[in-house]
């Protein structure tokens, strides 16, 4: 069964500092990986996704993530955090078709940004 | 891009009543719709998968008779919470996968259900 682990429940950084949110996955084949962001009371916004090819993926709002198969990881990074980045971040894994393409989410990491 | 319109965004209902949540795909055909439930400060838990023209598939532990899912057309899937109770209060989100073109998942904006 597929699963996602986000080890950090809550992270606090100062505005302008760099950020890395960790994500580890378990999946039997080549995974389709996603990072979503959710503001309070809102739906999900896709930051970036990885299917194949270049293992360093660029997303919106200056975010990037790197797929490391050997470590089963897909960590999200941003070089300089803005106060507006404060939100909940979810890593998710899905498959390529049939019943495999339902998404499984991690428990999320809450990001707080200090001024 | 693909859009899934979810309504209502917020609903308050009395215990014992039923509430219907709709998700419409606006510019694409959604043969499949995933329904998630999110508790406060928790992750999204998949409740069920609806497929157009067939019965929904429910995840283990989800009550089929309480959470009725209908996928009557390629653009509309509905979730009805029947005989709602306060413990059904939650944030419900639908998602439609796109398996062609720009592969991914399009999420509705969510429905905050409060049962009083």
Between CA A69 and CA A96 the distance in angstroms is 17
Q: How many CB atoms lie within 10 A of CB B17?
A: 11
Answer positive or negative: Cα dihedral of A24, A28, A31, A37: negative
Q: Residues A44-74: pLDDT tens digits?
A: 899 999 988 899 999 999 999 999 999 999 9
> Chain B within 8 Å of A59 (Cβ-Cβ)?
no
Give the mean pLDDT of chain A. Answer: 91
DSSP A61-96: GG-EEEEEGGGTEEEEEESS--GGG-EEEEEEEE-S
User: A41, A53, A56: which is closest to A88 by C-alpha?
Assistant: A41
- Distance from B89 to chain A by nearest Cα, in Å? 14
Whether the per-residue pLDDT at A98 is higher than 60: the answer is no
- Predicted confidence at residue B100, as pLDDT, reads 63
Which stretch of A3-12, A26-35, A54-63, B48-57 has the lowest confidence by average pLDDT?
A: A26-35
Range B6-23 average pLDDT: 97
Q: Which of A33, A35, A43 to mutate to test the interface with B (most CBs of B within 10 A)?
A: A43
Percent pLDDT > 70 in chain B is 96
* C-alpha distances out from residue A106 to A8, A40, B3, B6, Å: 10, 17, 24, 23
* pLDDT > 90 fraction of chain A, expressed in percent and rounded: 73
Geometric angle at alpha carbon B48, from A100 and A101, rounded to 5°? 15
- Segment B102-107 shows an average pLDDT of 80
For tokens 């009395």, name the residue. Answer: B14
For residue A103, the model assigns a pLDDT of 87
CA distance B107 to A78: 24
pLDDT at B35 over 90: yes
Whether a cis peptide bond, with omega within 30° of 0, leads into B8 is yes
Which residue of A47, A96, A99, A102 to mutate against B (max B Cβ within 10 Å)?
A: A102
Backbone φ, ψ for residue A85 (5° rounding): -80, -10
Lowest mean pLDDT among A50-54, B17-21, B89-93, B109-113: A50-54
């Amino acid at each position: 069964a597929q699963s996602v682990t986000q080890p950090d429940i809550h992270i606090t950084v100062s505005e302008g500092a760099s950020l890395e949110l960790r994500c580890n996955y378990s999946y039997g084949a080549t995974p389709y990986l996603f990072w979503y962001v959710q503001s309070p009371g809102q739906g999900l916004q896709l930051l970036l996704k990885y299917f194949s090819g270049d293992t360093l993926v660029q997303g919106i709002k200056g975010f990037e993530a790197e797929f490391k198969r050997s470590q089963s990881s897909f960590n999200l990074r941003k070089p300089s955090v803005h106060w507006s980045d404060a939100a909940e971040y979810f890593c998710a894994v899905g498959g390529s078709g049939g019943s495999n393409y339902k998404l499984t989410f991690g428990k999320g990491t809450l990001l707080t940004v200090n001024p | 891009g693909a859009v899934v319109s979810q309504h209502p965004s917020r609903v308050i209902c009395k215990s014992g009543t039923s509430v219907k949540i709709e998700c419409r795909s606006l510019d694409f055909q959604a043969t499949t719709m995933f329904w998630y439930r999110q508790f406060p400060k928790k992750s999204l838990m998949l409740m069920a998968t609806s497929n157009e023209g067939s019965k929904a598939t429910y995840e283990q532990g989800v009550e089929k008779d309480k959470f009725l899912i209908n996928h009557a057309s390629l653009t509309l899937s509905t979730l009805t919470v029947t005989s709602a109770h306060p413990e059904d209060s939650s944030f419900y989100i639908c998602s439609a996968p796109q398996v062609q073109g720009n592969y991914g998942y399009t999420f509705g904006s969510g429905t905050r259900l409060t049962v009083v």
